[in-house]
């Protein structure tokens, strides 16, 4: 394992351990969409198959310091944005497509720029990982990015139902995933 691979591995490990630990302090809730668990399971199965069958194993790491640096910057910025959004939303956070008891609509902080900044940050960190390590990692970026877009669209429907007076205006004033673009 190269030093750059170790940096990304440790960075992701620290992020996910902290992320899971913080989940203990959220409001109670439940998954609203029955297909969500099947979609998550399918993604895990595909990712494990990609790693076990070889496409994501044994790849050569990019040997370009400039690309590695750009990748690390995107990785760090993405994780920082996701963590900022997670801290900002506080106890209202939930797993993708979950329904919280007594939810609040958060529209400030990172949510002023995009409606789903946690997804945006994780996608940026994944892109940074691909840029810094190997283009083959764009496969998981596409799979997970697709799942996040699907989750965001499902959550948008729920939030429009839950906050019919305020959510449509919020949708008009912010972008879904990429500031100023989408």
For each of the chain's 182 residues, which pLDDT tens digit applies?
789 988 998 999 899 888 888 877 776 665 554 555 555 566 666 666 655 555 555 567 888 999 999 999 999 999 999 999 999 998 888 766 667 677 889 999 999 999 999 999 999 999 999 999 988 888 889 988 998 998 899 889 989 999 999 999 999 999 999 988 87
The number of C-alpha atoms within 13 Å of 111 and in the hemisphere containing its C-beta is: 16
Position 12 in a domain: no
The CA-atom distances, in angstroms, between 145 and each of 68, 81, 123, 126, 151 are 21, 16, 6, 9, 10
Position 137 in a domain: yes
Q: How far apart are CA 17 and CA 14, in angstroms?
A: 5
**Count of C-beta atoms within a 10 Å radius of residue 130:** 20
Range of the domain at 145: 62-95+105-173
Is the alpha carbon torsion for 57, 59, 63, 68 positive or negative?
A: negative
Position 30 in a domain: no
Position 37 in a domain: no
Give the containing element (helix H, strand E) for 140: helix 138-162
Question: How many domains does one find in the chain?
Answer: 1
Position 91 in a domain: yes
Closest by alpha carbon to 92, among 140, 27, 157? Answer: 27
Give the containing element (helix H, strand E) for 24: none
The pLDDT value given to residue 79: 97
Position 78 in a domain: yes
The CA-atom distances, in angstroms, between 168 and each of 27, 65, 88, 172, 174 are 24, 45, 21, 6, 10
- Residue owning tokens 């699907």: 150
């Amino acid at each position: 394992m190269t030093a750059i691979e170790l940096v990304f591995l440790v960075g992701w490990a620290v992020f996910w351990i902290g992320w899971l630990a913080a989940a203990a302090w959220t409001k109670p809730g439940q998954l609203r969409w029955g297909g969500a668990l099947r979609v998550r399971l399918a993604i895990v199965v595909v990712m494990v198959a990609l790693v076990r069958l070889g496409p994501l194993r044994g790849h050569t790491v990019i040997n370009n310091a400039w690309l590695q640096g750009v990748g690390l910057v995107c990785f760090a910025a993405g994780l920082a944005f996701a963590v900022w959004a997670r801290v900002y939303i506080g106890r209202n956070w939930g797993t993708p497509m979950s329904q919280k008891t007594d939810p609040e609509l958060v529209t400030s902080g990172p949510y002023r720029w995009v409606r789903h900044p946690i997804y945006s940050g994780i996608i940026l960190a994944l892109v940074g990982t691909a840029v810094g390590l190997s283009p083959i990692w764009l496969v998981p970026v596409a799979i997970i990015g697709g799942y996040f877009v699907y989750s965001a669209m499902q959550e948008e429907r729920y939030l429009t139902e839950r906050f019919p007076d305020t959510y449509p205006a919020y949708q008009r004033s912010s972008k879904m995933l990429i500031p100023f673009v989408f």
